[in-house]
Structure 1
């Protein structure tokens, strides 16, 4: 006698005690939903297209159902018909299927199917229950590991691994995506243009606080990976901290009745400082905002009026939504997990990473640094799209710049340049000619020294941002003013725009 279809779902409603007295709890599942979905696909293979984007064989609670779904998937994707007849050959010697009726079970699945209209709902039910079972597994692993962890397995490492598992599950636990109608994309583009029209400065992205750079780029665009590269002492970190602070300082939010918060201007900023400590970064920002040189702040050589300026600047900085993580040696996976946590807990509109070469990949690459950097840049681009925020990542340049007469950097100067150039939406270079001119000072009193002085006056305090690549805008060079003692970039004022001096 054949096993009734519904009998396969007979499970105890209440947890039953096992021999040790502990309660045994059946993991969440829905056999009827699995049977209904399989039957719908067997009756009409078009139902498979509605669920194939997110449902996998591993999501089925009953193993034999997962194998049936996998077999149907192979047939349908190869352009064949998946039916009880065509599937029979796959399961002629399958003992698990034999226990519930063998090939006749496939026929009963098709016979009990109702309609394909609800196929997607059945699939989502199966998927959600699979995610819940995975949550239970992660929780059990956390529980067992905490009980039995050896001495060298630090609690911090356990927390980090648990967070990583949960974040990976959160990324898998989505069935959104796929194609969308063009009118939906068009609506998003119009909304972006409307927001730019209403925003100060008319920018579609987040303002860098630097007028000419914003005009060239339209601000820092959502989901863009922006690489800011330069040789040491060019001012990469200074420019990045300037942009981060300007964005955080101008942050304005609108709170909607449904509890959501929308940034109307500026951004909540996350800053990964892999090279400098948070105290060093804070000192830089204090110097920039107060106008008191950072060297004098560190040594305590400040006047009374400068101290008052420091106090005022620190008060202003305390209210700025800028969050710093100065942990060294982060992997791309850990960085992504911390960025997601920041967005969930505080919000996030801009992510800054100083700098890319100090990140590590999440696998074993041996001496193949190119592959490792490829994983890092690909991961950063994916993270920018996932969080829907611009990521500003700093990068070192190779030494070949120093060998040229013209020291202005090019795309080919990027270390491990292939993946960085390919994955980035924008590549910018910081260049200060003053740095190189100051290092070739001739002997004083010679004609060459007079020429050198004239050249120094011409380049003093001038910085350049060279936009070498931009997916949605022009390339070119933007001039900026640079004040070295307080590590501050500001808008460039040309000589012909200076006010006339009073005689």
Structure 2
């Protein structure tokens, strides 16, 4: 029967994935994981992490996001964490994820440790699974971020000679950026994990971004029977991969339409699509919210008092965004304000007065 064939395929795929996972661990550590770790080993590892945090004196110890307030609240992007970045369409979740990946890759820096091996002291090598946009579209956004020239103008060739020279300089400067983009559509969880393992073996790996969660397919035949079950298997798979490779994974997620029915459009945990497993399996849940998106669609009649008030309010919030940290397993929750430049799809740091400052000024 079809069910029996599906079960056999599941068994074969699972066997391949488990075998590859065990081979990866064998190659990395010289031994296959036996499950239990005695307390002394766990204690040693914990104290090493505590010592590292202590010597950093409260500064970022995880992979830096490039956003001062996000890094202050999270302490950077921590190894083995699954971070969900969610938002309604047009809020800028892909833009923020791209900015974080770009910031981490640009900051990548190593030094030689006491054991003679390279040691990462900033940033990291990034894997970006772009399941919706092509690698070229994503790269165009990065060039816009770097040059300050809108991706729309780059795409159309609407540039003067100075701008084109600036674009060429950017291409040279970014040529060795440690950012690897996989734009394969309909990627399965098993294939995603296998490619991440290979990249870590070949190049090293410090951060994974998945854009976006609902476009990953489950490797399980049975998951096809229920979308909730499929998403559950994917979030469990991503969390397991984060622990296995010991890297943070940022997975983007859609939100349900129920957000639109409320007066306050700020997302809540209950708005996560197929929310149970996403909320449960994640270490951090962040929402991107731009009030200007909704206010722009409520323009009053021109030449009215209401219209003047609307113009004033749009001027105040048009280039502002919020990142809402709605869940953090090991820390506080709260809201962070960022600057946003729509034509560059770029988020920026803000100081306490609301003024922008560069990513490398903190």
TM-score range, shorter chain: 0.7 to 0.9
2:96 aligned residue: 239
Alignment of 1:304-383 (within 5 A): 304-364=161-221, 365-383=223-241
Report the secondary structure of 1:466's partner residue: strand
Task: Check the 8 A contact 2:259/2:265 in 1, yes or no.
Answer: yes
State how far apart, in whole Å, the 2-side matches of 1:355 and 1:262 are: 31
Cα RMSD after superposing both structures: 2.4
Distance 1:244 1:416, change over 3 A: same
Unmatched runs of 5 consecutive residues or more in structure 1:
1-159
Deviates more, 1:258-267 or 1:353-362: 258-267
State how far apart, in whole Å, the 1-side matches of 2:36 and 2:318 are: 53
1:35 aligned residue: none
1:105 aligned residue: none
Aligned residues: 339
* 1:424 maps to which of 282, 286, 309: 282
Distance 1:497 1:268, change over 3 A: closer
Deviates more, 1:490-499 or 1:239-248: 490-499
State how far apart, in whole Å, the 1-side matches of 2:114 and 2:290 are: 49
2:256 aligned residue: 398
Report the secondary structure of 2:90's partner residue: coil
2:139 aligned residue: 282
- The alpha-carbon deviation at position 260 of structure 1 amounts to 4.2
* TM-score, length-scaled by structure 1: 0.64
Q: Which structure has the bigger radius of gyration?
A: 1
Report the secondary structure of 1:208's partner residue: coil
- The alpha-carbon deviation at position 170 of structure 1 amounts to 1.8
Distance 1:196 1:317, change over 3 A: farther
1:466 aligned residue: 324
Distance 1:263 1:440, change over 3 A: same
- The alpha-carbon deviation at position 311 of structure 1 amounts to 1.7
Unmatched runs of 5 consecutive residues or more in structure 2:
1-12, 27-31, 358-362
Q: Can you list the C-alpha shifts for 1:57-113, whole angstroms capped at 9, x where unaligned?
A: xxxxxxxxxxxxxxxxxxxxxxxxxxxxxxxxxxxxxxxxxxxxxxxxxxxxxxxxx
Report the secondary structure of 1:437's partner residue: helix
Distance 1:181 1:313, change over 3 A: same
| Counterpart check, 1:413 vs 2:275 | no
1:167 aligned residue: 20
Greater relative contact order structure (CA < 8 Å, 6+ sep): 2
Distance 1:243 1:386, change over 3 A: same
Q: Can you list the C-alpha shifts for 1:224-276, whole angstroms capped at 9, x where unaligned?
A: 00000000000001000110011111111234586743322111000000000
Task: Check the 8 A contact 2:107/2:124 in 1, yes or no.
Answer: yes
Alignment of 1:22-421 (within 5 A): 164=17, 167-170=20-23, 174-182=32-40, 184-196=41-53, 202-255=59-112, 260-364=117-221, 365-421=223-279
2:345 aligned residue: 487
State how far apart, in whole Å, the 2-side matches of 1:222 and 1:201 are: 17
Q: Can you list the C-alpha shifts for 1:370-409, whole angstroms capped at 9, x where unaligned?
A: 0000100000000000000000000000000011100000
Distance 1:243 1:252, change over 3 A: same
- The alpha-carbon deviation at position 416 of structure 1 amounts to 0.2
State how far apart, in whole Å, the 2-side matches of 1:419 and 1:498 are: 36
Task: Check the 8 A contact 1:278/1:326 in 2, yes or no.
Answer: yes
- The alpha-carbon deviation at position 306 of structure 1 amounts to 1.5
Q: Can you list the C-alpha shifts for 1:294-327, whole angstroms capped at 9, x where unaligned?
A: 1100000012222222122222221210000000
Distance 1:309 1:165, change over 3 A: same
Distance 1:193 1:318, change over 3 A: farther
Report the secondary structure of 2:180's partner residue: strand
